[in-house]
A and B are shown apart, each in its own frame.
Chain A
Amino acid sequence: MNAALPKVLCLKKGTLLKQVFALSSAATPRESRLCAAGDAFVSCYRHYKSHPAHGIGKFKYLLPKEAPKKRKDKVQMKEINVGTEYEYGDVNIQMTSYDMCLVEHFAQYVHKLCNRLSIRVNESYAMPTKTNEVLFLEERGSKMQLDAVLTTHQRVVQISGLSSTFAPIFLEIIQSNQPEGVHLLVKEHTEADFKSRLKSRPELEELLAQMN
């Protein structure tokens, strides 16, 4: 607000008679300095459309136009598995446990280890948690039901570019650094793994079945 008023005043004074010009020239530098001191981000230097330097900072019209973003991500990469160098394709390292903090910290550790060893990490995501309810039925006269709610958490780190000479060493490091209570599973990435992350749409499938 403060920045707008002096600007309006300057413009008005500029369009008026020349007699007032001297006054305005004395007034504007002080006011422009004030507005600069008050708000560093508000630039009072935007010129009107007829000014020769109008639109001087624009550049987006120079960039090539991007295609609009599609919703479907059906990207699947598969590398050569058997070659002269014998490199593995996409490998999933899945860690499951009941304790969420342990699993998260372990996943972070694996991720940082891969960065350190310059192995390319494609993705590092979490699978939805599964809840199990444990009911004890103690029959010592009175049946007591003690409930326990267990949540199973799973984290996946996806890797590509493992050479076969290095893979066993890497596996051994991860295995020996496993915390207690964390299950480790290392397998190659398949379509089924990719699709397990997506939600199924029963209505769409029903309609498709009706059509066919």
Chain B
Amino acid sequence: IELEKSHYSDHEIRKLEEEEQLRRRKESTYDDDDEAPGKTVIMAQDLEDKWEQKLLQFEAAPRITDADKNNNRTSLNRKLDSNLMLLVKQKIGNQELWLLPQVEWQPGETLRSTAERAMAMFLGDHIQAKVLGNAPYGIYKYKFPRAIRTEDNVGAKVFFFKAFLQSSDLSQAELKEDYVWVTKDELGDYLKSEYLKKVNRFLLDL
């Protein structure tokens, strides 16, 4: 709200005028009897009182919904003021790891469509999530352990894309394995350190 250089609004001017009229009438009785019946049907002060009563009746929705009570990390109603990210438990090679949803790139496909395919695989087909640009946000390179390495495949690169969920309606989601919605601080509980370092670089938190 701006308090400097602000003029009076119509409502405030009206209120001041009516206050002055009341004062004048009290000081000198029977001053403007002709004007009285026409104007003072609803006074500005009455309107203000009515609005204040309405405000008291209004209850804002609670800010801390499930977060405090359950600490249920699978629901989207958790930390309403910060961003939540989806982590899935995936099997890569021999290990089961917590990762951001990951899918192998097929040749002939753009990187962005690969990301959308990964989203569709984990969250169902009709997802209202928006990928903003064609450029990836981050990259993570790693080398396979010596047992799996062949001549061509020394390691792998993982490109990260960001997508914004438009609606929080995930009733159609068929998530088979474990999934978690976490904030940036809680990422450290789940991800490995190297992976985490690279991922943290492009995540904005407010």
Task: Write the residues of chain A forming the contact surface with B, with a CB cutoff of 8 angstroms.
Answer: 101, 164-165, 167-169, 171-173, 175-177
Expressed in whole angstroms, the Cα–Cα distance for A132 and B184 within the complex equals 42
In angstroms, how far is the closest chain A Cβ from the Cβ of B63?
12
26 A-B contact pairs sorted by A residue (CB < 8 Å):
A101-B1, A101-B2, A164-B133, A164-B134, A164-B135, A165-B133, A165-B135, A167-B132, A167-B133, A168-B132, A168-B133, A168-B135, A168-B137, A168-B162, A169-B137, A171-B132, A172-B132, A172-B162, A172-B164, A172-B204, A173-B204, A175-B164, A176-B83, A176-B204, A176-B206, A177-B206
A residues in contact with B206, CB < 8 Å: 176-177
Contacts of B134 in A (CB 8 A): 164
Nearest-Cβ distance from residue B199 to partner chain A, whole angstroms: 15
How far does the alpha carbon of A165 sit from the alpha carbon of B132 in the complex, in Å? 10
Chain A, residue nearest B1 (CB):
A101
Counting residue pairs across A and B whose Cβ atoms lie within 8 Å, the total is 26
Tell me the minimal C-beta distance from A186 to chain B in angstroms. 10
B115-150 at interface with A (beta carbon < 8 Å): 132-135, 137
Per the 8 Å Cβ criterion, residues 136-170 of B in contact with A are 137, 162, 164
Closest chain B residue to A165 by CB distance?
B135
Nearest-Cβ distance from residue B201 to partner chain A, whole angstroms: 12
B1 partner residues in chain A, CB cutoff 8 A? 101
Minimum CB–CB distance from A140 to chain B (whole Å) comes to 15
Residues of B within 8 A of A171 (CB): 132
Residues on the B chain within 8 Å of A176, using CB: 83, 204, 206
B133 contacts across to A, CB distance below 8 A? 164-165, 167-168
Other A-B contacts than A164-B134, A168-B135, A176-B83, 11 sampled, CB-CB below 8 A, are A101-B1, A164-B133, A167-B132, A168-B132, A168-B137, A171-B132, A172-B162, A173-B204, A176-B204, A176-B206, A177-B206
Within residues 183 to 202 of chain B, which ones have a CB less than 8 A from any CB in chain A? none
Question: Could you tell me the distance in whole angstroms from the C-beta of B24 to the nearest C-beta in chain A?
Answer: 28
Q: Closest CB-CB distance, A81 to chain B, in whole Å?
A: 14
CB of A185 to closest CB in B, whole Å = 14
Alpha-carbon separation in the docked complex, A169 to B133 (Å): 9
A176 to B164, CA, bound (A): 11
Chain B: minimal CB distance from A165 (Å): 5
Bound CA–CA A21/B1 (angstroms)? 71
Q: How far is the CA of A73 from the CA of B83 in the complex (A)?
A: 45
Say how far B195's CB is from chain A's closest CB, in angstroms. Answer: 21
Interface string of B26-58 (1 = CB under 8 A from A): 000000000000000000000000000000000
